[in-house]
Structure 1
Amino acid sequence: MYAEERQSLILERARKEGRVDVAQLSADYGVTYETIRRDLTALERHAVLRRVHGGAIPVGRLAFEAPPGPRNEILAEEERIAKAALAELPENGAVLLGSGAVVAKLAEFFPNDRELTVVTNSTLAVLSLLPRENIDLMMLGGRLRARTRATVDVWALRALEETYVDVAFITADGVSAERGVTTADLADAQIKQAMIGSASRTVLLADHTKVGRDHFARVAGVEEIDRVITDSGLPFDLKEELTASGARVLTV
């Protein structure tokens, strides 16, 4: 079968089923995973498919912010990621904490033996750090998003324009070699962009389910992130793609 014929069948299948899987396509068409990935890349260049974790979806089914659901299956991964992120903290100085459950978990694990200035838009992080006498805590103002319990919009953005920190810890709804770091909400993306601009280094905390996915609003290219910390559930090929794009990826 010629590549063009196979790609046409893949597109038809994606539109019918809503998603195609690399492993299943490889088995069905008797070709390697790499061949299928090249097919998906070619279809993505024609703007008819969008690559996602493990496969692709037809354009028009791009992921948007989903309602909250059970999270028990990723709590252990988030805890490992948060603990690994402690190694990125300076001995003293200033850090930025963005929104997201894994960053809130990181705040819970902050050490008591060093003086740090923490700037954050996350009310969850504030609640964890407020009792700490060794933390000089600064909360960004702005509109409070009920979904993330974090502030966004112009007041927070103005404060970040006058802020400089050693390291920023952010999360994302998706990260891929092709589209970079993305999130489902434009206001959230703007805050994350400003945090990256305010920091000497940026660390992205993302469990493996976020890798290979693309969402509505772009935050940054992978090469703009100094370290990506994820869990050991990340498939090897996706780690290789991120690394090839300039990311330093740590799996825990």
Structure 2
Amino acid sequence: MFAEERQAEIARLVGDTRRVSGADLARRFTVTMETIRRDLAALESEGVLRRVHGGAVSLDRTDSVEQSLDSRATLKTPAKRRIAAAALELLEYTEATSVVLDAGSTVETFADALATRRTGSSDQSLLVMTHALHVAGRLADQPEIDLELVGGRVRTLTWAASGVFTAEQYNRYRADVAFLGCNGVAAGFGFSTPELPEAAVKTAIVNSARKVVVLCDAEKHNHENLARFATFTQVDALITDAAPTGPLAAALEEGGVEVIVA
């Protein structure tokens, strides 16, 4: 098979399945991984697909590709700050004494805002539980915060623990309120994330908290990822930077989710 024929077949496969594995392609066409890498590079230069670790995805699938913490931290910064400010205001209103903070750049921005929070000397300190190293780092030296670091195997992509062991620890808690990030929220599916181990931890957090708040910018509206971690009826509030519309707005209302636009 000529390279042009192979690349045309790869383009067709990406269009049909939206994601292909480099190893699977090498076996399918009986060629080396280096040959597949050259094929994918050529197709990416033509605007057919986007290369990712281990293979490639179609251009309309890029929302389901998890970004590194560093790359996500540079996106939507003004929106994240507004969402964080609204989350801090909600926290003050709830008068919570125990809080769970999820991983993610928006939650990290909220942790930055929380680090500036000042209470009276007679107020009870706030217990914060998190499995995210970057979030813990923002709060570790705050005298008015008691920090509980939840352990497990840390993913280098997110700087956060994930998997069954981490989820089991959260199952032992009953926090007043949990603040979670998400990679997508869509009518008919709910709140989702690309990775199953991460979804397991998020689901455990949802089940452990008396009040569940999701921090999610509008770019993630109407997007579905691989793993759902919460339905609409399991979430109490969504803090976002633009009002949801259409079926998503209807699903949030039907599920009883309070939408706060920052």
- Give the C-alpha shift of residue 180 in structure 1: 0.3
- Give the C-alpha shift of residue 241 in structure 1: 4.2
The runs of 5 or more residues in structure 1 that have no matched partner are: 1-14, 19-57
Q: Which runs of structure 2 are paired with 1:36-185 in the superposition (5 Å)?
A: 64-68=64-68, 69=71, 72-89=74-91, 90-110=94-114, 111-113=117-119, 114=123, 115-185=125-195
Maintained 8 Å contact 1:176/1:242? no
Distance 1:225 1:70 in 2: 24
Maintained 8 Å contact 1:168/1:202? yes
TM-score by length of 2: 0.69
Distance 1:187 1:107 in 2: 23
Give the root-mean-square deviation of aligned CA atoms.
2.3
- Give the C-alpha shift of residue 197 in structure 1: 0.9
Distance 1:236 1:100 in 2: 24
1:126-160 deviation per Cα after TM superposition (whole angstroms, max 9, x unaligned): 11101101111000110101111111123312211
1:192 pairs with one of 202, 207, 219: 202
Which residue is 2:215 aligned to? 205
**Count of residues in correspondence between the two structures:** 196
Distance 1:188 1:70 in 2: 16
Maintained 8 Å contact 1:168/1:195? yes
Maintained 8 Å contact 1:206/1:230? yes
Maintained 8 Å contact 2:164/2:197? no
Maintained 8 Å contact 1:78/1:105? yes
Which residue is 2:245 aligned to? 236
Residue type of the alignment partner of 1:96: V
Which residue is 1:225 aligned to? 235
Distance 1:70 1:100 in 2: 8
Distance 2:136 2:154 in 1: 13
- Give the C-alpha shift of residue 250 in structure 1: 1.1
Distance 2:208 2:174 in 1: 5
TM-score by length of 1: 0.71
Residue type of the alignment partner of 1:248: E
The SS at the match of 1:167 is: strand
Distance 1:130 1:61 in 2: 37
The SS at the match of 1:109 is: helix
- Give the C-alpha shift of residue 182 in structure 1: 0.6
